[in-house]
């Protein structure tokens, strides 16, 4: 699936790639609506459709990923609410082994996430995966999400990665398409980013079922 002799840099998404997307899906689809309804002393069924509509209107923009924006929008402390269910944060299977193997084989490991830095901090505090990364980049650092070509231009300027010798792994097909459009030669999707949902099928990208499929970095080239 990957010819490691052609790869120097591995760009990795966080939520749905290294970490189980179940936490995020449960938070936005269940926990936040419930707490929002409690604050307003109404039943969750009275507010959930409106909340989803307001969130969907921001999809693909930096606001969609911004905890500060949603804290203001919903008049709730999003970070506090995330910490309430922090026990649901978990790594995807073999994520840590994969990162350790990349390090031993001298591949540069760069986390590139749309998550706000304060969300990143919560995930790192729970998992400690930051100790297995060489660099962490949030799209909020650049003021533009990974869906935008400007993100990749700014990332390349900052990190000097060679698109022809870079592997990018992400669970979002829109973002994979953006990376492919920029010229990143090797891109892989994630078949099952949420452990509690069914596996997905992609028409455009090779999908990774498990990191075990690409763990043999010392294979003959």
User: Coil, strand, or helix at residue 219?
Assistant: coil
Report the C-alpha gap between 160 and 110 in whole angstroms.
12
- Local mean pLDDT, 10-residue blocks, the chain (221 residues): 93 98 97 95 94 92 94 96 97 96 96 97 97 98 96 98 98 96 97 94 89 77 40
The answer to whether residue 111 is domain-embedded is yes
Does residue 19 sit in helix, strand or coil? strand
How many domains would you assign to the chain? 2
pLDDT at 192: 96
Specify whether 12 is located in the same domain as 104.
yes
Asked whether residue 124 is assigned to any structural domain, the reply reads yes
Looking at the fold, whether 103 and 208 belong to one and the same domain comes out as yes
- Looking at residue 145, the DSSP 8-state letter turns out to be -
State how far the Cα of 112 lies from the Cα of 156, in Å rounded to an integer: 12
In SS3 terms, 170-208 reads as CCCHHHHHHHHHHCCCEEEEECCCCCCCCCCCCCCCCEE
The reported pLDDT for the residue numbered 216 is 83
pLDDT at 129: 97
CB 167 within 8 A of CB 11: yes
Three-class SS of residue 152?
helix
Q: Which domain does 165 fall in, by range?
A: 4-20+91-214
Last residue of a domain, one of 87, 102, 129: 87
Cα–Cα separations (whole angstroms), residue 44 to 51, 85, 200, 210 = 10, 18, 29, 36
What's the pLDDT at 98?
96
Do 8 and 32 sit in the same domain of this protein?
no
* Positive or negative: CA dihedral 183, 188, 191, 194: negative
For residues 148 and 172, state if they share a domain.
yes
Give residue 34's Cα distance to chain centre. 24
- CB neighbour list of residue 77: distance below 8 Å, 6 or more residues apart: 71
**Per-residue pLDDT, 218:** 59
Q: Is residue 204 part of a domain?
A: yes
Find the length of the chain.
221
pLDDT at 220: 41
CATH number for the domain harbouring residue 199: 3.40.50.1000
Among 40, 66, 87, the domain boundary falls at 87
Q: Taking a C-beta distance cutoff of 8 angstroms, is the pair 143, 151 a contact?
A: no
Same domain, 103 and 179: yes
Q: Tell me if 189 is assigned to some domain.
A: yes
Residue 189 and residue 116 share a domain = yes
In a domain, 221, yes or no: no
Pick the closest to residue 13 from 113, 91, 107, 118 (CA basis). Answer: 113
Final residue of a structural domain among 87, 119, 141: 87
The answer to whether residues 15 and 81 belong to one domain is no
49 lies in a domain? Answer: yes
Residue 219 resides in a domain: no
Residue 220 within a domain: no
Judge if 149 and 43 occupy the same domain: no
- SS3 category, 114: coil
């Amino acid at each position: 699936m990957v010819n490691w002799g052609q790869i120097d840099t591995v760009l990795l998404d966080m939520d749905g790639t290294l970490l189980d997307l179940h936490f995020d899906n449960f938070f936005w689809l269940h926990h936040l609506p419930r707490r929002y309804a409690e604050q307003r002393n109404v039943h969750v069924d009275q507010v959930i459709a409106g909340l989803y509509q307001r969130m969907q209107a921001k999809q693909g923009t930096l606001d969609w990923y911004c905890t500060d924006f949603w804290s203001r929008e919903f008049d709730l402390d999003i970070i506090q609410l995330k910490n309430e269910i922090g026990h649901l944060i978990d790594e995807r299977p073999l994520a840590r082994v994969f990162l350790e193997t990349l390090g031993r084989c001298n591949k540069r490991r760069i986390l590139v996430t749309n998550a706000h830095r304060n969300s990143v901090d919560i995930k790192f505090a729970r998992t400690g995966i930051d100790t297995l990364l060489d660099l962490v980049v949030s799209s909020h650092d650049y003021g533009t999400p990974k869906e935008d070509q400007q993100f990749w231009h700014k990332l390349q300027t900052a990190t000097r990665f060679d698109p022809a010798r870079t592997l990018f792994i992400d669970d979002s097909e829109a973002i994979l398409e953006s990376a492919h459009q920029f010229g990143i030669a090797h891109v892989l999707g994630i078949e099952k980013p949420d452990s509690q949902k069914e596996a997905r099928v992609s028409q455009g990208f090779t999908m990774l079922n498990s990191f075990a499929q690409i763990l043999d970095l010392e294979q003959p080239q």
